[in-house]
Amino acid sequence: MDQTPPSFMRRLSLAFGAFFSIIGNRDFAAQVMRLRAGADLAAPAAAEAPSDVRPLREVPHEAALQLLGMLQREARLVDFVAEDITAYSDADVGGAARLVHAGCRKVLGEHFSIEPVRADAEGSRVTLADGFDAAAIRLTGNVVGKPPFTGTISHRGWRVTDARLPKLAEHHDASIIAQAEVEL
């Protein structure tokens, strides 16, 4: 394996890939937590070792950079997050947040089909039988014992059913998420 330290852009793309992997894969998130605590990932903790260990796969980083570029272009998301807003009033921040929200919503609507993981309304009582999809449903609160579990839906979750990212030209540099502008 190459031991050369990755470049800044490679680290940035790795961070975005890791972010989405941590959000979508609780086993991966547990491994990241063990790594941050100084544990050796080659030997997972016996109590936490999943029975079907799957190798980690690297995901293409261009898609994450492309999405970030679209969110910057339509919602000025990077500008908003990079700005130090402590000097602004809540009303000013709220006004800016409405513009960012509208742009983000536009990007999601144009490029993704998203539906709730659970059709039940938030606040509904549900029973999860043995074999429920643990990748799609996260148990919170006092989790003890084995299924069936009965609880209240606090968030229905979201699932992407279709992604429609534009194709990139062969030599397009996806790391440029917003060009510098020079007014003449």
Give the separation between CA 103 and CA 77, rounded to whole angstroms.
8
Calculate the alpha carbon distances from 99 to 89, 128, 132, 133 in Å. Answer: 16, 39, 39, 36
Alpha helices in 6-161 (DSSP H): 8-24, 26-36, 62-75, 77-82, 90-111
Give the separation between CA 184 and CA 81, rounded to whole angstroms.
28
Q: Is the dihedral of CA 173, 174, 175, 180 positive or negative?
A: positive
pLDDT number for residue 31: 82
DSSP assignment letter at 153:
-
Structure token digits, residue 160: 């992407």
Q: Note down pLDDT in tens along the chain; length 184 residues.
A: 556 777 766 676 677 677 777 777 788 778 877 887 777 656 555 555 555 677 888 877 889 999 999 999 999 999 999 999 999 999 999 999 999 999 999 999 999 999 999 999 999 999 999 999 999 999 999 888 999 999 999 999 999 999 999 998 989 999 999 999 999 9
pTM of the full predicted structure? 0.63
Give the separation between CA 20 and CA 12, rounded to whole angstroms.
13
**Residue ranges covered by each domain of the chain:** 1-59, 60-115+159-179, 118-156
